[in-house]
Amino acid sequence: MPAVSNRSVDALVQGVLQGEVRSIARAITLVESRAPERLELLAQLFPHTGRAFKLGITGAPGAGKSTMTYQLIPRLKAKGYRVGVLAVDPTSPFSGGAILGDRIRFDDALEGVYIRSLASRGSIGGLSRGVPSAVRVLEAAGFDLVLIETVGAGQLQVDVRFVADTVVLTLVPEAGDVIQAMKAGIIEIADIYVINKADREGATRMRLDLRNALELGGKPKGWNPPITLTEALHGKGVDELVEFIEEHKQYQQQSSGWHTRRLQQLEWELQSLIHDALEQQARSITRQLFSAATLEAVLQGAENPFPKLKAWMGS
Amino acid sequence: MPAVSNRSVDALVQGVLQGEVRSIARAITLVESRAPERLELLAQLFPHTGRAFKLGITGAPGAGKSTMTYQLIPRLKAKGYRVGVLAVDPTSPFSGGAILGDRIRFDDALEGVYIRSLASRGSIGGLSRGVPSAVRVLEAAGFDLVLIETVGAGQLQVDVRFVADTVVLTLVPEAGDVIQAMKAGIIEIADIYVINKADREGATRMRLDLRNALELGGKPKGWNPPITLTEALHGKGVDELVEFIEEHKQYQQQSSGWHTRRLQQLEWELQSLIHDALEQQARSITRQLFSAATLEAVLQGAENPFPKLKAWMGS
């Protein structure tokens, strides 16, 4: 990312507010970077942000998240939403430029939809640190529903809760999937459960197991997360899923849950930005404490690095 | 983790050096924690560390990593290694106390093998920050081969390179797996490729695709990573895999690659510890910069948080 002057930040802000696709793309690249100007951009966009509904779609690789996303988009558009998509999944077809270009770009269903993949490298919780910032860019550009597709990998996906207002967990009816999800601690985080590829054997059984698992966990009173069966590939059950999503959104907005959750999201967003800055410091502190010669000596066993670290941490 | 006195650190060190299982377990719990005493423990263990061969087994969930680990253990023991296993995979059977207790503990194949699961929550690169420290504990306890099983989830698994001397990537012959691995940027990091479940359709084809993909990537001269077919469940092809592992180990030790890699590992280890300390700061800095009342104001849109962040980062 080349340096961005304050003047070009102003121009970028104007472009984003006017919904220009190229400005949106450049602004997201900027907020994903560590360039100091990203904070100026965020400061200027801030008054136009905070209003979109954020929908998280998560689940293990192969559970059909992207197909589901693709089926949800036209239905959400039909509800009147302007939809933006952030794919934080290296295996998502939405992430691959080529596949996107080949198969999807000219599709009517995606007309007016902004789709962007974000890197998950170096991220915590499997979720790119840039997500909340990218959401703000999309909000400022007028999108009022941001769909966040995240790679599901055990405990790594848990942080989607700190970004999305409604989390949909996609499972497939295969032996052990409920158990794996439980072990990975993701059972508790979803607001809506989808058993996709429901034509496969074991779907009904899985719904039962999942319901039992959820009741074991002692879900908080209030929202009782639905478990719905879909065949995303053929669009089956997706209308029902959209209704559950709308229902959960309304339920939350009418309860105190909305405010608590948004406060958590905000705190996580700010903490991530601070964390990110500290991460850069870690690199330079390491170099300060341990020169190339010292590292060499440590490798030979001639120098013990831990007393030095201990002293630094104690200070 | 209760506070640990310097005196009990001394006792712990003695226990670890004598190879006592309970001391090893307590020491790993200590180094996984953020207790300041962990650095004293590491400082005292340091002279007895740095000598084990570290073998990483990675791959997507369902690729058969745990089965492979289970098959490798007796063969590595037969080669004369004292084997310790660190499982950084929430879905690994080695991670679940119950399954471990039920199925594996009394197995002859695992006699004398120390197996421990590490949390991957909150980790970067899918790899627990505690791994290099846990490796040091095992080294001090006399294990000279540490097998590290890591959950593979796209780009998240890349950091295994910074911990292991030899990385084995396990794939399964299913459509798209090579492409997914390429997109996730993991193709470049492995030293040995295993196509497991090779009795399934497409295994030979996958080997061809993978070979092509590797040549496209322009592998550095020197080690030419082998691609081997296995059926871990029946032990087929595992002997050959062990030979490749030994070969790669010897190849590296005779080339300059070993030294470069060990230097990278050391740097990553120290940087992780520093990063970890800074991460704890992130939380308190966030609270200092943004009081509950400020967060509330930001949520209402009455206060813009980004100028404050910008000022903090600029300072």
Q: Which CATH superfamily is domain A49-255 in?
A: P-loop containing nucleotide triphosphate hydrolases (3.40.50.300)
Percent of chain A with pLDDT over 70: 80
For residue B3 the two structure tokens come to 């506070």
Higher pLDDT, A136 or A32: A136
How high is the pLDDT of residue B120? 55
The average pLDDT across A71-96 equals: 81
Phi and psi dihedrals of A59, rounded to 5? 150, 165
Fold exhibited by the domain A1-48: 1.20.5
For residue A40 the two structure tokens come to 């100026």
- Which chain B residue is nearest to residue A270, measuring alpha carbons? B286
CA distance A77 to A67: 16
Q: What is the 3-state secondary structure (H, E, C) of A171-234?
A: ECCCCCHHHHHHHCCCHHHCCEEEECCCCCCCHHHHHHHHHHHHHHCCCCCCCCCCEEECEHHH
Which DSSP state fits A82?
P
Which residues, in sequence order, are bridge partners of residue A114?
A84
CB contact under 8 A, A155 and B120: yes
Please spell the DSSP secondary structure of B148-201, one letter per residue. Answer: EEEE--GGGGGGGGGT-SEEEEEE-S-TTHHHHHHHTT-GGG-SEEEE-STTST
Per-residue pLDDT of chain B (315 residues; tens, 9 = 90+): 455 676 799 999 999 999 999 999 999 989 988 888 999 999 999 999 999 999 999 887 778 888 999 999 999 999 999 999 998 865 555 554 333 333 344 467 778 889 888 765 444 444 566 899 999 999 999 999 999 988 654 434 447 878 999 999 998 887 566 766 665 556 677 899 999 999 988 899 889 888 887 877 665 678 889 999 999 999 999 999 999 999 999 999 999 888 989 998 998 899 888 887 887 788 888 889 999 999 999 999 999 999 999 998 875
Q: Interior CA angle at B40 toward B36 and B46, to 5°?
A: 135
Q: Tokens 């087994």 correspond to what residue?
A: B57
A27's CB contacts (< 8 A; 6+ apart) are A12, A15, A16, A41, A45, A137
How high is the pLDDT of residue B123? 44
Phi and psi dihedrals of B284, rounded to 5? -75, -30
Which residues, in sequence order, are bridge partners of residue A115?
A85
List CB contacts (< 8 A) between A61 and chain B: 60-61, 153-154, 180
Q: What are the domain boundaries of chain A?
A: 1-48, 49-255, 269-314
| Among the listed residues B309, B305, B284, B288, the one whose alpha carbon sits nearest the alpha carbon of residue B296 | B305
List CB contacts (< 8 A) between A286 and chain B: 267, 270-271, 274
List CB contacts (< 8 A) between A33 and chain B: none
Confidence of residue A166 (pLDDT cuts 50, 70, 90): very high
Integer CA distances (angstroms), B204 to B175, B191, B229, in order: 12, 19, 8
Buried b (16+ CB within 10 A) or exposed e, B56-80: bbbbbbbbbbbbbbbbbbbbbbeee
Q: Does A266 touch chain B (CB under 8 A)?
A: yes
| Among the listed residues A107, A88, A108, A112, the one whose alpha carbon sits nearest the alpha carbon of residue A24 | A112
Q: Does A277 touch chain B (CB under 8 A)?
A: yes
Measured in angstroms, the CA of A36 and the nearest CA of chain B are apart by 8
Provide the CB-side half-sphere exposure for A135 (13 A, CA). 29
For residue A27 the two structure tokens come to 């602004």
- Cα-based torsion angle of the residue sequence B117, B120, B125, B130 in order, rounded to the nearest 10 degrees: -60
pLDDT tens digit sequence for A20-67? 999 999 999 899 888 889 999 999 999 999 999 999 998 877 788 889
Q: Tokens 């608590």 correspond to what residue?
A: A260
Q: Tell me, what's the ipTM?
A: 0.79
Residue A53: in which H helix or E strand, if any? strand A53-59
In chain A, positions 89-118, which contact chain B (CB-CB < 8 Å)? 89-91, 95-96
A13's CB contacts (< 8 A; 6+ apart) are A41, A44, A45, A140
Higher pLDDT, A98 or B207: B207
Integer CA distances (angstroms), B186 to A121, B121, B170, B172, B179, in order: 11, 21, 11, 15, 10
Q: Does B120 touch chain A (CB under 8 A)?
A: yes
Nearest beta carbon to residue A310 from set B39, B96, B122: B39
pLDDT tens digit sequence for A224-254? 899 999 999 999 999 999 999 999 999 999 9
Q: Does A185 touch chain B (CB under 8 A)?
A: yes
Which residues, in sequence order, are bridge partners of residue B54?
B146
- Chains A and B form CB pairs within 8 A to the count of 188
Same fold, A1-48 and A49-255: no
In chain A, positions 216-255, which contact chain B (CB-CB < 8 Å)? none
| Among the listed residues A181, A189, A187, A193, the one whose alpha carbon sits nearest the alpha carbon of residue A214 | A187
Q: Interior CA angle at B71 toward B69 and B74, to 5°?
A: 105
| CB neighbourhood size of A152 (10 A) | 27
Quick check: helix, strand or coil at residue A240?
helix
